[in-house]
Amino acid sequence: MTKKPTPTAFPTHAPHLIKDAVKLIASYPKVPITVDCVIFGFEENELKVLLIRSDLEMYKGFWSLLGDNAKDNEELDSAAYRILKERTGMNDVYLDQVRAFSHPQRHPGGRVITLAYCSLLNIQHHELKIYANELHWHSFSSIKEMAFDHKEILDTCYAWLQKRIQEHPLGFNLLPDKFSLRELQNLYEAILGVSLDRRNFRKKFASMGLLIDVGEMEEDVPHRPGKLYKFNFEKYEKNKRKWIGIDF
Amino acid sequence: MTKKPTPTAFPTHAPHLIKDAVKLIASYPKVPITVDCVIFGFEENELKVLLIRSDLEMYKGFWSLLGDNAKDNEELDSAAYRILKERTGMNDVYLDQVRAFSHPQRHPGGRVITLAYCSLLNIQHHELKIYANELHWHSFSSIKEMAFDHKEILDTCYAWLQKRIQEHPLGFNLLPDKFSLRELQNLYEAILGVSLDRRNFRKKFASMGLLIDVGEMEEDVPHRPGKLYKFNFEKYEKNKRKWIGIDF
DNA sequence: TTATTATTGTGTAAGATGTACACATTTAAA
DNA sequence: TTTAAATGTGTACATCTTACACAATAATAA
């Protein structure tokens, strides 16, 4: 998902040239940088987002994204993974950089630039080790107000997600390994905020050939159980380019 | 194009709370931030990009993006507009934030995080006031090597442009006010790197209804001249949402 | 003035995809 | 045994995509 910037190979140069470069950089104003992670999940037919309580007294009681400052010489992608790990224990999650938020008054303590990172994950797969202050999954639609400009960041990431899920079949990241077509459709409907024709939805996914019938049925549903499928990751990886642009 | 972050309305609080917030921020490492602008244009059937010579002795002779440091308390979007203006005199141009590049060794003078901004413009409309060191348009495809990690940034922005131009009919930003369908098609072919069927291309744009026949013909072409069109910006703005997803 | 060259402008048929829509079947629960 | 709720399935129609050819026009060169 996220493309890691590769190190720049710059020619090694005479020390006085390096000194010049260092001097130039030293003349630039410096800014504290933070990373905020927007972690989406899906459960009980609802899009959820992982939040903590703000640790600033000023925003006491407000919900806040999982964020912290980037360390010296730390790549931002690495910072995002580190912060997520520190606060939730999660390890095996992809994060995508979404954008920077840099309004000079976005933080009451002074100027901070933050980079928003976003991820989709399967809530069942990631037990929360609650290292952070009141770490909880929240129904996305119930979040009206947040600390700092975090509501704006959240909304930007939601828009990013809506777009993203139509370009790649990432819905699978949000579901259990085995899922029914109804669950898959509910997911798309929840994220896109539309209702979709059941037959056409099934036809669409059938024609993509990305679903493997695992030969099992749903259990413990109060109605006729549906077949369970798993996602054909192998085929997806092979034909990645093709799936861009899924229309419903 | 670019969505400006809106100021956060945070409740005014007791001074000691503000002090806490300030203290928190003060404990964060600080990083120099720069902005680099990738300005694409189109001329002589070629995608072009606006570059300057690196002003670092170390990268003497290398081409470099239009960049500079963000100032204290300056929003990054504003910084990008300011820098573009300072270096080229250009005023009336949209810039979109693309992404941050933060590899700790990306600059020989030490850690600098840069935010890439991207724009498409009509070369004829924007006479360059050359405030910068050897500011020139370059054929995109001729650029093989650049200062710092600027080649990587350029390539990322090119990929962004390819995607972007298929989601919105932004090709128009790159063309003169009046253009022929051939010019429009050349533009798409150049940016997407494919060749398109002429009849189908024309049909597609005709059906979008975004072209207005200005009742004039091309001049000074060594063959039968084509009709000239202008872009129906008004209609585009009204139906913006609809145009997402232009397939050829 | 004429012939040559390059490019414009135009339509259609076949295939692929999207959309709207209904009914018998299956399970759990009452 | 009935009821409720959801599954599984196919078709016709409209829309969009793709492939493809030829006469008309203007500029240029002979």
Residues sharing a CB contact under 8 Å with residue A172, sequence separation 6 or more, in sequence order: A231, A233
My answer on whether B85 and B208 are in the same domain is: no
Residue A248 lies in a domain: no
Chain B, residues 208-237, CB within 8 A of chain A, namely none
More confident residue, B39 or A6: B39
Place of tokens 């001097």: A23
A155 and A185 part of one domain: no
Instruction: Write the single-letter amino acid at B8.
Output: T
Q: Same structural domain for residues A139 and A51?
A: yes
Q: Distance from B18 to chain A by nearest Cα, in Å?
A: 6
Give dist(CA A154, CA A39) in Å, integer: 10
Distance A171 CA to C27 C1' (A): 28
Q: Is residue A3 part of a domain?
A: no
Residue ending a domain, among B145, B166, B187, is B166
Q: Is residue B70 part of a domain?
A: yes
- Whether A22 has its CB under 8 Å from any CB of chain B: the answer is yes
What one-letter code names the amino acid at A115? Answer: L
**Which of A19, A20, A36, A58 best probes binding to B when mutated, by most B CB atoms within 10 angstroms?**
A58
- Angle, vertex CA B196, rays to CA B190 and CA B201, nearest 5: 110
Q: Is strand C within 7 Å of residue A247 (CB)? A: yes
Pairing of strands B30-43, B113-121: parallel
Contact present, A76 and B102 (Cβ < 8 Å)? yes
**C-alpha to C-alpha distance for A143 and A48, rounded to whole angstroms:** 10
Q: Are A160 and A224 part of one and the same domain?
A: no
Number of domains within chain A: 2
pLDDT digits (tens, 9 = 90+) for A212-241: 999 999 998 999 999 999 999 999 988 877
* Nearest C-alpha in A relative to B15: A58
Judge if A26 and A136 occupy the same domain: yes
Residue B151: name the closest of B101, B113, B80 by CA.
B101
Q: How confident is the model at residue A177 (pLDDT cuts 50, 70, 90)?
A: very high
Task: Report if residue B74 sits inside a domain.
Answer: yes
**pLDDT of B248:** 63
Q: What is the pLDDT of residue B154?
A: 98
Task: State the pLDDT at residue B82.
Answer: 97
The percent helix, strand, coil of chain A (3-state, each to 5) is 35, 25, 40
Rg (CA), chain A: 21
Query: How far is residue A74's CA from residue B103's CA, in Å, rounded to a whole number?
Result: 8
Averaged pLDDT, A165-170: 88
Residues 6 or more apart whose CB falls under 8 angstroms from that of A243 comprise A167, A168, A169, A208, A210, A236
pLDDT reported for residue A247: 64
pLDDT in tens, B153-188: 999 999 999 999 998 888 888 999 999 999 999 999
Please tell me whether residues A25 and A83 are part of one structural domain: yes
Domain end among B132, B166, B200: B166
Q: CATH number of the domain at A74, please.
A: 3.90.79.10
Domain encompassing residue B238: 168-243
Q: Quickly tell me which residue has 């992670």 as its tokens.
A: A37
Q: What is the CATH number of the domain that holds A198?
A: 1.10.10.10
The verdict on residue A12 lying in a domain is no
Task: Give the protein-side footprint of strand D (Cβ within 7 Å).
Answer: A 180-182, 198-200, 202-203, 221-227; B 197-200, 203-204, 207, 217, 219, 221-225, 247-248
Tens digit of each residue's pLDDT (9 = 90 or more) over A58-75: 999 999 999 999 999 999
Domain boundary (A131, A166, A201) is at A166
Say if B84 falls within a structural domain. Answer: yes
Q: How many helices (H) and strands (E) does chain A have?
A: 7, 9
Using the predicted structure, report yes or no on whether residue B197 has a pLDDT greater than 70.
yes
Query: What is the C-alpha separation between B60 and B75, in angstroms, rounded?
Result: 30
Chain B residues lying within 8 Å of A151, measured CB to CB:
none
What is the average pLDDT value for chain B, to the nearest integer?
A: 90
| Within-domain flag for A73 | yes
Q: Are B162 and B202 in a shared domain?
A: no
* Domain shared by B36 and B134, yes or no: yes
How many other CB atoms are found less than 10 A from the CB of residue B50? 25
Kindly report the average pLDDT of chain A as a whole number: 91
Asked whether residue B23's C-beta has any atom of DNA/RNA strand C within 7 A, the reply is no
Give residue A100's pLDDT band: very low, low, confident or very high (50, 70, 90): very high
Q: Do B43 and B159 lie in a common domain?
A: yes
The 10 Å Cβ neighbour count of residue B200 is: 10
Tokens of B238: 């009204």
One domain, residues B62 and B149? yes
CA–CA gap between residue A68 and residue A71 (Å, rounded)? 9
ipTM: 0.91
How many other C-beta atoms are found inside a 10 Å radius of the C-beta of residue B229? 23
Which residue places its CA closest to the C1' of nucleotide C27? A224
pLDDT at A188 over 70: yes
Looking at residue B1, its pLDDT comes to 43
User: Could you tell me if B69 lies within 8 Å of chain A, comparing CB atoms?
Assistant: yes
Whether residue A224 sits in one domain with residue A135: no
Query: Which of B6, B24, B100 is nearest residue A97 as measured by Cβ atoms?
Result: B100
Position B5 in a domain: no
A241 to chain B: which residues are within 8 Å by CB? none
In the predicted model, what is the mean pLDDT of residues A28-42?
97
Same domain, B156 and B45: yes
